[in-house]
Amino acid sequence: MTTASHAVLDDALAAAAYALRTAATFDPQEAAWAAKRLYEAVDACAQRSPSIRKFTSDVELALLQDPRVQRELQRQERDLAELEAARDAADVPTLSERSETALE
């Protein structure tokens, strides 16, 4: 396994741990850390392009526009909007159920 693969795996496992802690504590900071680590995992996957030799502002822009990165950012935006609209905790399981299938 390459160093890049280890980084993606580390981010994914950390995100899962933060998500579990969010479920246990309802601490929004834990949710923010989970989202950050998921974004970093997806960004690391996007960085695997053979055309990337040196990081420049153009490369950063291209990474941000990568379809995988955009899907993750859209998922996070949708989840935040749904959390803000949730009237009570009973509406929240929909998010966790959807997150289980998000990477399929």
The answer to whether 36 and 42 have CB atoms below 8 angstroms apart is: no
Confidence of residue 93 (pLDDT cuts 50, 70, 90): low
Residue 82 confidence (pLDDT) above 90 = no
Taking the C-alpha atoms of residue 99 and residue 79, their distance in angstroms, rounded to an integer, is: 9
What is residue 25's predicted lDDT score, i.e. its pLDDT? 85
Mean pLDDT across 5-31: 89
**Sequence spans of domains, the chain:** 3-101
Residues 61, 54, 5, 3: is their CA dihedral positive or negative?
negative
Query: How far from each other are the two terminal CA atoms of the chain, in whole angstroms?
Result: 22
Residues 100, 97, 35, 20: is their CA dihedral positive or negative?
negative
Query: In terms of pTM, does the model score above 0.85?
Result: no
* Percent of the chain at pLDDT exceeding 90: 38
pLDDT, tens digit (0-9, with 9 covering 90-100), for 20-66: 898 888 888 988 999 999 999 999 988 887 777 788 888 888 899 99
What is residue 88's predicted lDDT score, i.e. its pLDDT? 66
Residue 100 confidence (pLDDT) above 60 = no
What is residue 89's predicted lDDT score, i.e. its pLDDT? 64
